[in-house]
A and B are shown apart, each in its own frame.
Chain A
Amino acid sequence: NAGVTQTPKFQVLKTGQSMTLQCAQDMNHNSMYWYRQDPGMGLRLIYYSASEGTTDKGEVPNGYNVSRLNKREFSLRLESAAPSQTSVYFCASSEGGLGTGLWGSIYNSPLHFGNGTRLTVT
């Protein structure tokens, strides 16, 4: 009953270092998302993937890249970390996605979240 699993849980980087945050879901969901959560700013969408093989930018994509490796996995990469990227990162998934047929199912399925990765960039 794992749901959405994120690794690592905590990470400290120095400015300029790179790293990849991993996310996997075992619910056979079509859509996957990466959010960041900062105090006083709520959650903001970085990138999302509506189906395997597709990715789209969200509200704050600069400084990040993503890969939808397969239906289960969606990774987020920081190529050159900056202090402004200190945040808590959440991966999420939902059943709806491109090609699921019904318009309603694409947009009306709830999101399921992982427990987050707390990243500090010094």
Chain B
Amino acid sequence: KQEVTQIPAALSVPEGENLVLNCSFTDSAIYNLQWFRQDPGKGLTSLLLIQSSQREQTSGRLNASLDKSSGRSTLYIAASQPGDSATYLCAPKHPGNKLVFGAGTILRVKS
């Protein structure tokens, strides 16, 4: 059974810092891995999707990497802003069309 772990569970940084969120998964037989953000009381917003054949994906200040063989992904956020404050979740996708979610990293960016 796939297990997904996200470290750290919570993170508080001053505005402007670069930061890295980590995601590890036990089963490397995945099709892709998706990173989401969730604002309080809201649904999930897709940030980046990395296919299993890719090493990284970039969108604006966000860069996600994937090392499928070691079961790891990182989400790098450059020049963090208070608007980046949210919960960030990673979810590898399995055969059978199923995503398995980590518990998330709660990020707070202080102004």
A residues apposed to B, CB below 8 Å? 4, 31, 35, 40-45, 48, 50, 58-59, 90, 92, 96, 104, 106-108, 110-116
Measured CA separation A23–B60 after assembly (Å): 31
Contact A107 B46 (CB under 8 A): no
- Tally A-B pairs: CB < 8 A: 59
Which of B13-21, B73-81, B93-101 touches A? B93-101
Partner of B43 from the list A48, A50, A115 (CB cut-off 8 Å) is A115
CB distance from A83 to the nearest CB of B (A): 22
Partner of B97 from the list A41, A90, A106, A115 (CB cut-off 8 Å) is A106
CB distance from B30 to the nearest CB of A (A): 10
CB distance from B86 to the nearest CB of A (A): 13
In the complex formed, the residue of B with least CB distance to A116 is: B43
Contact A43 B89 (CB under 8 A): yes
Contact B44 A90 (CB under 8 A): yes
Residues of chain B within 8 A (CB-CB) of A112 are 46
CB distance from A38 to the nearest CB of B (A): 10
Contact B93 A107 (CB under 8 A): yes
Ranked nearest first, the 10 interchain pairs of A and B with the lowest CB-CB distance are A113-B43, A42-B101, A43-B101, A107-B31, A113-B44, A110-B46, A115-B43, A42-B103, A110-B49, A114-B43
Most chain A CB atoms below 10 A, which of B4, B34, B97, B99: B97
CB distance from B57 to the nearest CB of A (A): 11
Contact B97 A40 (CB under 8 A): no
CB contacts under 8 Å to A, within B60-91, are 89, 91
CB distance from B42 to the nearest CB of A (A): 6
In the complex formed, the residue of B with least CB distance to A91 is: B43
In the complex formed, the residue of A with least CB distance to B30 is: A107
Q: Is B28 an interface residue (CB 8 A)?
A: no
CB contacts under 8 Å to A, within B1-54, are 4, 31-32, 34, 36, 41-46, 49, 51
In the complex formed, the residue of B with least CB distance to A59 is: B98
Residues of chain B within 8 A (CB-CB) of A107 are 31-32, 93, 95, 97
Residues of chain A within 8 A (CB-CB) of B42 are 115-116
